[in-house]
Amino acid sequence: MPEKEQHAWWKEAVIYQIYPRSFMDANGDGIGDLAGITQRIPYLSKLGVDVVWLSPVYASPNDDNGYDISDYRAIMKDFGTMEDFDTLLATAHKAGIKIVMDLVVNHTSDEHAWFIESRKSRTNPYRDYYIWRDGKDGKEPNNWESCFSGPAWQYDEATGQYYLHLFSKKQVDLNWENPKVRDEVYDLMTFWCDKGIDGFRMDVISMISKDQRFPDGPVKPDGYGDFSPYCISGPRVHEFLQEMNQRVLSKYDLLTVGEAAGVTIDEAKKYARSDGKELGMVFQFEHVGSENGKGSIVEKWTTGKPKLQNVRAILNKWQTELEGCAWNSLYWDNHDQPRCVSMFGNDAPEYRVRSAKMLATCLHMMKGTPYIYQGEELGMTNTHWASIDDCRDVEEKNAWQQFVIDQKRVSPEIMLACFDNMARDNARTPMQWDASKNAGFTTGTPWIAVNPNYTEINAASEINDPDSVFNYYRKLIQLRHEHEVIVYGKFIPLLEDDPNIYAYARELDGKKLLVACNWTKDEAPCTLFDDTNGTELISNYKEHKKGALQPYEARVVLL
Ligand code: GLC
Ligand code: CA
């Protein structure tokens, strides 16, 4: 018998991520806003999701679209006011939808009041809120490269020292060693909890504790050092999270999910430990990064696509190894990833709908809490980047500057091909609501171009089509709400060496679920269902074939 899993509302929930800038623009300035989200709550109710995770909505100069916060207790002007936020929260709650906030506390904006003070003098009371170091031989304190290209240290004339920024130079790393910083973070979290929010998604939370020796990292092909060994799951990260848990999280009933790029299984078991002393779950990145840096053009950039064998091995490992000791999060997409139907599926018109449904099935029948990223439920696709001028993302702009312009390691054409494949902006094109101008996202000029395929792919047409990707997601969500085995059943991998098919079973209290997905555009041999006579819960085909799965066919049978 499988172990009895501790029940929790957030284990039974389906989460929907909103990237507010691109979701719905209510006032016609071309930028999505809180009032726009409030307008679309009925849409989310119809889809049936339990929780909305809002990417950051706090005051920000938007160097990284809100992941650079200048005031944690204020709303970004582009998105509206605190009143708009309160209305959104109340409207969502009335509809039975919970709200999870993004918590970005590895770094603040350089325009945050703390940093404005900190950089004034070496003796300023806020100096120690950030990580300042002397240079070495007239250069940076060490060789670390930032995630967005170039050195992770920025020289500041005023005081003659460098500050650390693992992301852009306008995203300054906080010094978590300083107890005052931690107090500030717990206070601002409490502020939001007292407002009645339902949880936090914690941005790059695995990076808050740095090795205080600040050693050089292993040198990468571009000459910079890799900070990961000294910043990812650093020396005090679990201590800090346990403190945060005691001081804030344990006082409320929250969903907590830590973004944890580079996290290992062993570390994940600590972050998401089932005794609830740290976080509810983490986002790991192995399955979305299996091609990154491989056969790649430069650094993470590639035109390659993930292979079933790799993705399956990674996800099966996470499923089986966390069994009974920690909880998984499940996702293909978020605001940092290309669109899953383009990356893992097949966005050619003849396969798009089928493969989008197949991917959804493959993920939503697994054990863990599923996350849907806005537009994924419509089968939205990557777009085409014809010029760097169309891109908006600081990561893309910096990579272009470094690899195309400065180092000339890659031609503009090839870099753009990489962008078509995996640029974050693919996820950030406006939500496609209907076939009217700008996809119904705005009456103004959208801050980033709408994907031209909105006339084909949009919510209005899908809601009324029983065979749409939207209605398929709706059904997957319903099934999870109806069948305990989908939430708590033990995961059992099947056909682990099959070249075409991702298959597994789930088991709970004598109930068994059989799931099989053909990841290819060709018919693939499969006898899993031939001698079973269970109930089909969902499939993207009406008719099945004995001994085979049809192109991108997905089947779920309850025995
Ligand atoms: C996380 C966010 C990403 C952001 C980065 C820095 O990875 O998801 O969008 O750029 O952190 O805050
Ligand atoms: Ca707006």
Average pLDDT over residues 29-41: 98
| Ligand 1 binding site (Cβ under 6 Å of any ligand atom) | 64, 67, 104, 167, 171, 203-204, 259, 335-336
Q: Is 379 left (phi over 0), alpha (psi -120 to 50) or beta?
A: left
Ligand 1: residue whose CA is nearest its atom 7: 204
- Give pairs for 232-236: CB < 8 Å, separation 24+: 232/206, 232/207, 232/261, 232/262, 232/263, 233/206, 233/209, 233/260, 233/262, 233/263, 233/264, 233/267, 234/207, 234/208, 234/209, 234/210, 235/209, 235/211, 236/176, 236/177, 236/209
Q: Which ligand is nearest to the CA of 37?
A: 2
Query: Ligand 2 centroid to 9 CA: how many Å?
Result: 33
pLDDT (0 to 100) of residue 531: 87
9-108+180-383+432-478: CATH topology is TIM Barrel (3.20.20)
Average pLDDT over residues 418-437: 98
| Ligand 1 pocket test, candidate residues 68, 174, 203, 335, most atoms within 8 A of CB | 203
Q: Which of 334, 333, 359 is nearest to 345 (CA)?
A: 359
CB 297 within 8 A of CB 303: yes
Taking a 5 Å cut-off on Cβ, the residues next to ion ligand 2 are 25, 27, 29, 31, 33
Q: What is the CATH number of domain 491-558?
A: 2.60.40.1180
Q: Say yes or no to pLDDT of 294 above 80.
A: no
Give the confidence band of 2 by pLDDT, cuts at 50, 70, 90. very low
| Ligand 1 pocket test, candidate residues 147, 167, 173, 257, most atoms within 8 A of CB | 167
pLDDT (0 to 100) of residue 5: 79
113-172: CATH topology is Oligo-1,6-glucosidase; domain 2 (3.90.400)
In the chain, where the domains are located: 9-108+180-383+432-478, 113-172, 491-558
pLDDT (0 to 100) of residue 227: 98
Q: What is the mean pLDDT of the chain?
A: 96
Give strand pairing partners of 557. Answer: 514, 536
In terms of pLDDT, which residue wins out, 275 or 306? 306
Catalytically active residues are 203, 259
Q: What are phi and psi of 38, to 5 degrees?
A: -55, -40
Q: CB under 8 Å to 447, separation ≥6 — which residues?
A: 21, 22, 30, 31, 392
Q: Is the pTM of this model over 0.95?
A: yes
Cα 76 to Cα 56, 59, 184, 372: the distances in Å are: 9, 4, 20, 24
Cα 186 to Cα 78, 291, 411: the distances in Å are: 26, 37, 46
Ligand 1: residue whose CA is nearest its atom 2: 203
Whole-angstrom distance, CA of residue 123 vs CA of residue 79: 36
Whole-angstrom distance, CA of residue 52 vs CA of residue 44: 9
395 CA closest ligand 1 atom index: 10
pLDDT (0 to 100) of residue 280: 97
Give the confidence band of 3 by pLDDT, cuts at 50, 70, 90. low
Q: Say yes or no to pLDDT of 4 above 80.
A: no
Q: CB under 8 Å to 531, separation ≥6 — which residues?
A: none
Q: Say yes or no to pLDDT of 156 above 60.
A: yes
pLDDT (0 to 100) of residue 182: 98
Q: What are phi and psi of 460, to 5 degrees?
A: -55, -45
Ligand 1: residue whose CA is nearest its atom 4: 67
Tell me the percentage of the chain whose pLDDT exceeds 70. Answer: 99
Q: Which ligand is nearest to the CA of 430?
A: 2
107 CA closest ligand 1 atom index: 12
Give the confidence band of 1 by pLDDT, cuts at 50, 70, 90. very low
Q: Each residue of 388-416: pLDDT tens digit?
A: 999 999 999 999 999 999 999 999 999 99
Q: Which secondary-structure segment (H or E) carries 535?
A: strand 535-539
DSSP string, 217-262: PPBPTTSPBP-HHHHTT-TTHHHHHHHHHHHTGGGS--EEEEE-TT
Q: Which of 288, 299, 389, 399 is nearest to 342 (CA)?
A: 288
Ligand 1: residue whose CA is nearest its atom 12: 67
Q: Each residue of 205-218: pLDDT tens digit?
A: 999 999 999 999 99
Cα 172 to Cα 55, 161, 302, 312, 368: the distances in Å are: 19, 14, 28, 37, 33
Q: Which of 114, 147, 150, 113 is nearest to 132 (CA)?
A: 114
Give the confidence band of 111 by pLDDT, cuts at 50, 70, 90. very high
Give the confidence band of 296 by pLDDT, cuts at 50, 70, 90. low
Q: Say yes or no to pLDDT of 537 above 60.
A: yes
DSSP string, 341-402: HHHTS--STTTHHHHHHHHHHHHHTSSSEEEEETTGGGT--------GGG---HHHHHHIII
Q: Each residue of 452-478: pLDDT tens digit?
A: 999 999 999 999 999 999 999 999 999
